[in-house]
Structure 1
Amino acid sequence: MFDDLPPDLERLETLRTWHALWVARIDEKIRQVRVQAEQQERAAAAREERRPDWLIEYGLNRDAMPLGVHTGDCHMAGKRSKGVDADTARRAIAGGVEACSHCRPDTALGLLE
């Protein structure tokens, strides 16, 4: 058998203590990473629950006209978007507001086939 450990009890106990401390540090880090992952999952679930089904994007001006309609998960929706219900999104598209060419809310709303 391959035995590269020291032969005396004192050094073996020192190695045992050293490695026990490292195992404790590793266990604590694993616990911290698991807690952080759970917090991130909860935060992502909360964001998912708050996400609206439809978005209307507005221009820079406070009283600006709507610029576009997006689905709630569209990556192209800007920061000046507001959540709306399906009827409001349909009326906006029917009223001439441009439907996003990436997420195609007009198709999802049943306005186009």
Structure 2
Amino acid sequence: MNLTKHKDNYKVEVFSKRNNARYLIDLSLRDPEYLTGIYDTNGKLKEPISGWVDPISGIYPVDFGFDGVFYLLAYQQIAGTFHADTVGTMQNRLKWNGYMFVLDYQDLAIYGANDG
């Protein structure tokens, strides 16, 4: 299970219990109207906010080394203040250990900001 928590200074912390890893998402490039709904003018949270990470929403076999060995690439959406407020995506690489698929690698993808 993965958890999210908004922090001061336009940040969202994501914690992965599976591998005991913390990730930090910077929201500072989001629309100012969006930010003023969550933060005061000094970048402090107006109230505590906890988001969530969805269960796996997509899973794809991928041969990363082009050697016939396939991993599963599993995606999980990270929600901010409400479900449609996507702040990133967890990308989990799963490998077969002879008995079951286990987490081999995990990273977090964020979305870029439009410049106009």
TM range (shorter): under 0.3
Please tell me whether Structure 1 or Structure 2 has the larger radius of gyration of its CA atoms.
1
Higher strand share: 2
Higher helix share: 1
